[in-house]
Chains A and B, each alone.
Chain A
């Protein structure tokens, strides 16, 4: 049984961190009038930047899911030094400064050679934005998926094999459905992290302008009042979408 003092102290510390998070968000929301928000929403530049942001993050998430999920599965199942190193290495994009990530990406995606091989121009394009978003956000999906696969007991897969399933079939009938919740959470986290990316994107693709870059540009060019309505709109849309998705994933039961 917890003591009242312990619970009171825990609650007090919790309130401090909640205020730390809520106050800035509340401040910009309260400091922006509905008419400012409505006016901003009619600006083509704002709408386009929000669309580019969400679309690029979606492309990054789909690409990260297709390529990252198999790697996450192998990491969860293979117990050897190579995969331990891979798992550690996958955390690097989280810990390095994102401007440094942007420079690193520029050295690969900025080359003409890659453009001539793939036929895709990454500089100043949605492809470049998605590449930057993938780089910085895929670890969130990967980590979540690794944990989700680890939570699926390997004997269940063996049981499926004994019942006549090949490796692909057992993966899609047993492993993937049981890991779905963790994977979807990871996808949401990756998408969210992609949407909020600024440092890496601004180096590889200033244009087309994503919302975080637009907010920064308006702030540096015209000041806080001009940047604030875009920030509030992004805050509102993101909160709505992520709360809905989290609610959906939490409700899913195995």
Chain B
């Protein structure tokens, strides 16, 4: 188990923390945030490359603040791979003083790198080099594996391959993984839990579905790819509560709060139809299609109902509805699908 307690660090104008976080043994934890949010700095503090200003880092209950990196039983895989260029692949893998030679064959077979043993790092492709870097890290038998944007410089198919590999290794080895990325899709595919880091502050920690369905604020919602983030205010009209955005009013579940608010609606929860639907849904709005975006498995339809809303529909539905820009459609949203953040 890794505990970060009251972590603070200042680097010039940038302030990291206060960070409080507990990561369970064997957990795949993803630290997600935009560039410059302090993700890599956090990894460097955990690794011991940078000395903490305040707070403590505990590994399995022991404070490691004063321990140098080589004593912390951590291993690191980075975006730049950082294989030792003067050593061949086999010597890279066996580099660690903790490396157990009897593990070489097993790990090399799992990562499909046995045939690369005699090659120098400069001759490897991006995917091969990253597999070797992962093998070297695993040979260290780490308690915690730190992954600093490990998929960042790879092409899409290699990225998928390495992603599956990381997930598989985490399942088998039950080593704690802390993976840093700015890509929500990558985080969602890998993480047991995600921590959202913005400007040095850990805003939210939770399971993928928790964060996606209830992002802590508008910034987080936008970052993790919410398409419908609505800024408006909650108003009372004749004893009923509405969420008003410009001149558009959405009926919402009753709550005690009034005033400015931000709501999100999952594109999956927005139904579009040619005729007004007669259903239990409380919000039916007429609008005009302003944009159509085809994704591999769906179509995103942006409709202007006074505010812009994006609905995700299947390609089959798009064809049946004969959607095209400027076509008028009805938008139906259940009031419970509006989530206040």
Q: Which A residues have a C-beta under 8 Å from some C-beta of B?
A: 153, 155-156, 158-167, 169, 173-174, 177-178, 254
Contacts and interface: CB of A to CB of B under 8 A. Distances in A.
A146 B136 CA distance: 29
Contacts of B98: 163-164
B14 interface: no
A165 B97 contact: yes
Given A155-B78, A155-B80, A162 B86 contact: no
B180 interface: no
Q: Which of A163, A169, A173, A177 has most B Cβ within 10 Å? A: A163
Contact of A161 (B70, B80, B84, B86): B70
A165 B84 CA distance: 13
Given A155-B78, A158-B47, A164 B97 contact: yes
Given A158-B69, A254-B86, A163 B49 contact: no
B107 interface: no
Nearest to A152: B85
Contacts of A153: 80, 82
20 contacts: A153-B82, A155-B78, A155-B82, A156-B82, A156-B84, A158-B47, A158-B49, A159-B78, A162-B74, A162-B146, A163-B70, A163-B75, A163-B98, A163-B136, A165-B97, A166-B70, A167-B68, A169-B97, A178-B86, A254-B85
Nearest to B96: A163
A156 B83 CA distance: 7
Contact of B70 (A156, A164, A177): A164
Nearest to A170: B70
Interface string B86-98: 1000000001111
Quick one: which of A164, A165, A167, A169 has the most chain B CB within 10 A?
A164
A127 B70 CA distance: 42
A158 B40 CA distance: 13
Contacts of A163: 70, 75, 95-99, 136, 140
Contacts of A174: 84
A166 B69 CA distance: 8
User: In terms of DSSP, what is the predominant structure of the interface of chain A?
Assistant: helix
Interface of B: 47-49, 68-70, 74-76, 78, 80, 82, 84-86, 95-99, 136-137, 140, 146
Nearest to A174: B84
A65 B65 CA distance: 35
A175 to B, nearest CB: 11
A161 B97 CA distance: 10
A158 B48 CA distance: 9
A19 to B, nearest CB: 40
Contacts of B146: 162
A177 B97 CA distance: 18
B76 A162 contact: yes
A178 B69 CA distance: 21
Contacts of B136: 163
B321 to A, nearest CB: 53
Given A155-B82, A161-B48, A163-B99, 15 more contacts: A153-B80, A155-B80, A156-B84, A158-B49, A158-B69, A159-B78, A159-B82, A160-B84, A161-B49, A161-B69, A163-B70, A163-B97, A164-B70, A165-B70, A166-B70
Contacts of B137: 162
Contacts of A162: 47, 69-70, 74-76, 137, 140, 146
B42 to A, nearest CB: 15
Contacts of B47: 158, 162
B81 to A, nearest CB: 9
B156 to A, nearest CB: 25
